[in-house]
A and B are shown apart, each in its own frame.
Chain A
Amino acid sequence: GDSVTQMEGPVTLSEEAFLTINCTYTATGYPSLFWYVQYPGEGLQLLLKATKADDKGSNKGFEATYRKETTSFHLEKGSVQVSDSAVYFCALSDRGGGATNKLIFGTGTLLAVQP
Chain B
Amino acid sequence: GAGVSQSPRYKVAKRGQDVALRCDPISGHVSLFWYQQALGQGPEFLTYFQNEAQLDKSGLPSDRFFAERPEGSVSTLKIQRTQQEDSAVYLCASSLASSTDTQYFGPGTRLTVL
Contact = CB atoms under 8 A, between A and B. Distances in A.
B40 to A, nearest CB: 7
B105 A101 contact: no
Contacts of B50: 99
Interface string B90-110: 010101001111111111100
Nearest to A108: B42
Q: Is the interface of A mostly helix, strand, loop or mixed?
A: strand
B106 A104 contact: no
Interface residues of A, number: 25
Nearest to B59: A102
Interface in A67-115: 89, 91, 93, 98-108
Contacts of A105: 42-44
Interface of A: 4, 32, 34, 36, 42-46, 49, 51, 89, 91, 93, 98-108
Given A43-B108, A101-B31, 18 more contacts: A4-B42, A44-B43, A44-B91, A46-B102, A46-B104, A49-B101, A89-B42, A99-B55, A100-B45, A100-B48, A101-B95, A101-B99, A102-B33, A103-B33, A103-B103, A105-B42, A106-B42, A108-B42
